[in-house]
Structure 1
Amino acid sequence: MKKQIISFRRLHYGWIVICIAFLSLLVSAGIRSTPGVLILPLESAFGWDSMSTTFPLAFNLALYGLCGPFAAAIMEKYGIKRVMVCSLTMLVVGTGLSAWMKNIWEFTLLWGLVIGIGTGFTSSVLGAVITNRWFKERKGLVIGILTASGATGQLVFLPLLAKLATEESWQLTVLVTSLASFFVILLVLLFMKERPSDVGVLPYGATGTTETIEPLQKPLGNPFSSALKGLRYGIRSKEFWLLAGSFFVCGLSTNGLIGTHLIPACGEHGIPEVTAASMLAFMGIFDIIGTTFSGWLSDRWDSRWLLFWYYGLRGLSLVFLPTALDSTSFWGLAIFIIFYGLDWVATVPPTVRLCNTIFGEKSGIVFGWIWASHQLGAATAAFGGGTLHALTGSYTFIFVFAGILCAVASGFVIQIRHNYKYTIQETI
């Protein structure tokens, strides 16, 4: 018993914080993936068309991204714990009330506005802020683990939610996500800490003694003003535009396209919704492996070249997807699931690492704006994909065009200067 207590005390509290953040991001990711299994039931129940159902989701994805830079500034001002509790409460309310919605405007209000903001404050920006506060070493690995929470959320939630939506009711589906959010709120209230100094330790991997820990200094001023200053700081750098442009394509080709439209696309090829959702969740297994390994690689290899290959290989897989869907063989889709799953969000750790290297102490807010670009890309694909599908009756052109854009993103990232540190003086 004594040995167990000593072993527990030697565990750096940063890993406990990472576990809480992982669960928060997991539930948020599960809720973000829920519309994929709701589109067909809602269209069937209320007679809505694909343009009507995808607009609230595009609004959701846009807000999810635009909240990022403000989330980073608000966390610095009011604390991570408060922001997490407030955002998770919004998810509880938004998902819970949506069980009684009957109109498009209610769907837009709850899933577009309320849940869009709630998930926006529990996004990759949260992981980036926590990692920078609690870790001096293994940052790439930690970011990889937290980023993999999105895939884990799919893996845990999608098959269950799809089964509930098809065999029970879509109302029960959203109530399950509401209960999951409430459970995580309790964990945050009990175990979440702001900084290493709150528990008398240094950040993981830092040298020195606990007496050298600087006291928490809350930034002065309006957090919204701080977020806008971060944007002005970033946009003067070419590297910001290269990272933001490539991340726009990343969001377009993942959350917005595959996350929103893969299940309906499978339905058009005779693949049942539960089977398609299980495939998407199974993709999450490979996403966990790929993203965690990407975090490990980003601590050891040039992040620019990692991103170059990630985007290029993703583009090839998207061009191949229509062929896989048309094929009567199971192996075509199986190859896509494995290949695309390994690449799904592997781009995040090297992007965060490049942002930290280039923008230093301002990287949290600057990455928030780069993340906003990611979600604007996702919103573009969510709504644009639904609109083009309504006009053409096929997803083939959409998948191929997204693959071409991934090739363009490969060209963007390789132009970033190696080990470059940006300072405001360079713009004067």
Structure 2
Amino acid sequence: MTCDNATPAALTPFPVPRRRTLPHRAWGIAAVAAVAIVTAGAFATVPGLLVTPLENEFGWERGQVSLATAVNMVLYGLTAPFAAAAMGRFGVRRVVPVALVLVGAGALLTSVMTAAWQLTLYWGLLIGIGTGSLTTTFAATVTAHWFVRRRGVVVGGLSAAGHLGQLLFLPLLATGVDRLGWRPPVVTLALVALAVAALAAWALRDHPADVGLAPLGGARPVPRPARAGGAAAHGVRVLGRAARTGTFWLLAGVFAICGASTNGIMWSHWVPAAHDHGVGATAAASMLSLIGIFSALGALASGWLTDRVDPRRLLVVYFGVRALTLLALPQALGAGAGPALVAFTVVYGLVDIATVPPVIALANDRFGADGPIVFGWVNAAHQLGAGLAAFLAAGARELLGGYDPVWLVLSAACLVAAVLAPVVEPAGAARADGR
């Protein structure tokens, strides 16, 4: 029996709720990748905090500690192209957790070391290889697989993630070292790395095809690329093809200067250099964190600009500004932890890792599908420059009694990089495969 005045469901005046559109899976993958990169980035500035405590506890010379840092930076760079090739063969879901376990194990072993060679083995070798697998080559791989649109922004965001790790952890680590000694902060970081390894194993996926999706911005799903046989051999073959082009050597040279003038000197010698001018470790670490904040902002802005402006022009501006800031740094440090040093950290921070999105874009434009691996080799040059700067700066400080000549030399090198950047060939002119 029906009521005469009943309203049919189709005529109901209430709106039918719309089906909620969920964010694309690519954003979740990028978020997990960012957490892994943040964790790896937290280890970058720890050696600078350990220099004085290790000198005091073990009586080691600064050069012995800097050797471990230099080995770490070199392996960090040399691992990247092989890690990119390994991700192509085994997938990020396998490679990333293994890398984080290496990092965690290296940090735990460092906490029980008794000799300087062990610092080189644990922090230099194990952590160098582990963090080297989680560099911007990892960001380039994730972006190339999961994104068609927003690539520049995503690369900028993932590049900023490493410095976000410094921002999040460095002040806490510095305070912990001051109050508790150096071992508890190192063990804490190790446990964080192991926890993130479990997260990555659970949440990461290698390719949109694995879950039946198109990349973000793609019209339809694309098949997963064939797995390359022999990751190490493939990485070397890509290097052989790329090394026959002038573009590769220009990018490698420019990025070597970039490494020397950023993490090579700043993340290893900033705290000791500030200490030489009467700035305490906690205040210096806070300044370094401020650089991290503006590095993140600069990387995001650079990613947005890279989608719209010739990357070569961006590199000219970034290296020019960096040269001027390094030239002014001795005066800023001489004034102590005041407005001049804060101004330096802001301006320097904005161009610190802003170079990464343009260089990745140039590598992808010039070398096509091999772009992430080629960038891995370019990044190896970055870390070679960083390792050389970290090691030589320690010797310069012991020989000359300060870091002022180091800042001047690096300023001049950045001017050279600004001159070299426009020489990179136009898009498509230097494909490593000869096309």
TM-score interval for Structure 1 and Structure 2 normalised by the shorter chain: over 0.9
Instruction: Find the residue that maps to 2:197 and give its secondary structure.
Output: helix
Whole-Å Cα distance in 1 between the matches of residues 141 and 19 of structure 2? Answer: 29
TM-score when scaled to structure 2?
0.94
Check conservation: 2:329, 2:407, Cα contact below 8 A: yes
How many angstroms does 1:102 deviate by? 1.8
Corresponding pairs, count = 420
Q: Give the one of 265, 286, 290 matched to 2:294.
A: 286
1:331 equivalent to 2:339? Answer yes
Check conservation: 1:303, 1:351, Cα contact below 8 A: yes
Residue 186 of structure 2 corresponds to 174
Residue 353 of structure 1 corresponds to 361
Instruction: Find the residue that maps to 1:190 and give its secondary structure.
Output: helix
Q: Unaligned regions of 5+ residues in structure 1, if any?
A: none
Residue 252 of structure 1 corresponds to 260
How many angstroms does 1:328 deviate by? 4.8
Deviations 1:404-424 (A, max 9, x none): 000000111111122234245
Alignment of 1:43-62 (within 5 A): 43-62=55-74
1:196 equivalent to 2:205? Answer no
Residue 273 of structure 1 corresponds to 281
Identical-residue share of aligned pairs (%): 37
Whole-Å Cα distance in 2 between the matches of residues 47 and 366 of structure 1? Answer: 42
Deviations 1:99-153 (A, max 9, x none): 1112101101100111110111111110001100000111110000000012101
Whole-Å Cα distance in 1 between the matches of residues 52 and 100 of structure 2? Answer: 26
Check conservation: 2:316, 2:422, Cα contact below 8 A: yes
How many angstroms does 1:214 deviate by? 1.3
Distance 1:4-1:112 versus aligned 2 partners, 3 A rule: farther
Whole-Å Cα distance in 2 between the matches of residues 266 and 6 of structure 1? Answer: 57
Deviations 1:175-199 (A, max 9, x none): 1110110121121122111100112
Q: Which has the larger radius of gyration?
A: 2
Whole-Å Cα distance in 1 between the matches of residues 384 and 257 of structure 2? Answer: 9
Deviations 1:353-404 (A, max 9, x none): 0111010011111111000000001001110111111111110000110010
1:71 equivalent to 2:79? Answer no
Residue 31 of structure 1 corresponds to 43
1:207 aligned partner, one-letter code: A
Whole-Å Cα distance in 1 between the matches of residues 267 and 48 of structure 2? Answer: 7
Whole-Å Cα distance in 1 between the matches of residues 280 and 223 of structure 2? Answer: 56
Q: Give the one of 111, 116, 124 matched to 2:123.
A: 111
How many angstroms does 1:425 deviate by? 6.7
Whole-Å Cα distance in 1 between the matches of residues 226 and 152 of structure 2? Answer: 26
Please identify, of 322-331 and 168-177, the stretch whose mean Cα deviation from structure 2 is larger: 322-331
Instruction: Find the residue that maps to 2:262 and give its secondary structure.
Output: helix
2:430 aligned partner, one-letter code: Y
How many angstroms does 1:17 deviate by? 0.5
Instruction: Find the residue that maps to 2:77 and give its secondary structure.
Output: helix
Distance 1:297-1:397 versus aligned 2 partners, 3 A rule: same
Residue 11 of structure 2 corresponds to none
Residue 380 of structure 1 corresponds to 388
Residue 251 of structure 2 corresponds to 243
1:367 equivalent to 2:386? Answer no
Check conservation: 2:228, 2:234, Cα contact below 8 A: no
1:344 aligned partner, one-letter code: D
TM-score when scaled to structure 1?
0.95
Check conservation: 2:277, 2:336, Cα contact below 8 A: no
- Computed over aligned residues only, the root mean square deviation of the Cα atoms, in angstroms, reads 1.6
Whole-Å Cα distance in 1 between the matches of residues 393 and 197 of structure 2? Answer: 34
Check conservation: 2:332, 2:341, Cα contact below 8 A: yes
Residue 395 of structure 1 corresponds to 403
Check conservation: 2:157, 2:300, Cα contact below 8 A: yes
Distance 1:372-1:425 versus aligned 2 partners, 3 A rule: closer
Residue 5 of structure 2 corresponds to none
How many angstroms does 1:10 deviate by? 2.2
Whole-Å Cα distance in 1 between the matches of residues 181 and 421 of structure 2? Answer: 44
Check conservation: 1:357, 1:421, Cα contact below 8 A: no
Alignment of 1:110-189 (within 5 A): 110-189=122-201
1:86 equivalent to 2:98? Answer yes
How many angstroms does 1:332 deviate by? 1.0
Instruction: Find the residue that maps to 2:48 and give its secondary structure.
Output: helix
Instruction: Find the residue that maps to 2:309 and give its secondary structure.
Output: coil
Whole-Å Cα distance in 2 between the matches of residues 343 and 49 of structure 1? Answer: 33
Whole-Å Cα distance in 2 between the matches of residues 417 and 227 of structure 1? Answer: 23
Q: Give the one of 214, 219, 242 matched to 2:223.
A: 214
Deviations 1:234-273 (A, max 9, x none): 1111111111000000000001111111110000111110
Residue 10 of structure 1 corresponds to 22
Check conservation: 1:360, 1:421, Cα contact below 8 A: no
Whole-Å Cα distance in 2 between the matches of residues 364 and 242 of structure 1? Answer: 17
Instruction: Find the residue that maps to 1:32 and give its secondary structure.
Output: coil
1:363 aligned partner, one-letter code: G
2:59 aligned partner, one-letter code: G
Whole-Å Cα distance in 2 between the matches of residues 139 and 58 of structure 1? Answer: 32
How many angstroms does 1:59 deviate by? 0.4
Check conservation: 2:366, 2:432, Cα contact below 8 A: no
Q: Unaligned regions of 5+ residues in structure 2, if any?
A: 1-15
1:322 aligned partner, one-letter code: P
Whole-Å Cα distance in 2 between the matches of residues 153 and 319 of structure 1? Answer: 27
